Structure 1
Amino acid sequence: MYGYNPFDEEDASYDLGKKLKPALSVSSKIISLHEVWPGEGVSYGHKYTFGDREIVGTVPFGYAE
């Protein structure tokens, strides 16, 4: 869908998917950087929890960003 090959490389139909061309592109910019510490979470419902101190960027894409 949207120019992405839906087939795994091992799939017999993989070569058909290689003929697809990108139908669109998405771009955005990082609008802020945040320092996060081990145990802190990000994403809706904190679906990802950091194991190390890291720097993360916020990209405005989607709703209510």
Structure 2
Amino acid sequence: MVALEFLWLAFRHGRAVDAALMLLPAAFILLGLRAALTGAPWYWVAIPLTLAFPAHLADLVRRMRR
């Protein structure tokens, strides 16, 4: 589903980089959720959730510059 959304956003905005930065935080959160639901150790939940924050900030900075 995330891949389909990426294709739709890339087509809509015309730039794959913009679409990737929009979806990267959500992809990290989904990885953390999957780790939590499968009973993975806490660090496999924490790592993707921690990486989602800088990815979100990168997306915000890119949007503010436009």
TM over 0.5: no
* TM-score normalised per structure 1: 0.23
Rg larger in 1 or in 2?
Answer: 1
Q: Which has the higher helix share?
A: 2
Structure number with the higher strand fraction is 1
TM score, norm. by length of structure 2:
0.23
